[in-house]
Amino acid sequence: MFFVASAIVGGILFVLSGFIDNGYSAQMGVSFIISYAAYFMVLYFIKR
Sorted by where each begins, the domain ranges of the chain are 2-47
CA distance 36 to 18: 26
Q: Are 48 and 31 in contact (CB under 8 A)?
A: no
pLDDT per position as a tens digit, 14-48: 999 999 999 999 999 999 999 999 999 999 999 87
pTM to 2 decimals?
A: 0.83
CA distance 33 to 48: 23
Residue 18 φ/ψ, nearest 5 degrees: 80, 30
Residue 3 reports pLDDT greater than 80 = yes
* Host H or E run for residue 12: helix 2-16
> pLDDT tier at 7 (50, 70, 90 boundaries)?
very high
* Host H or E run for residue 32: helix 22-47
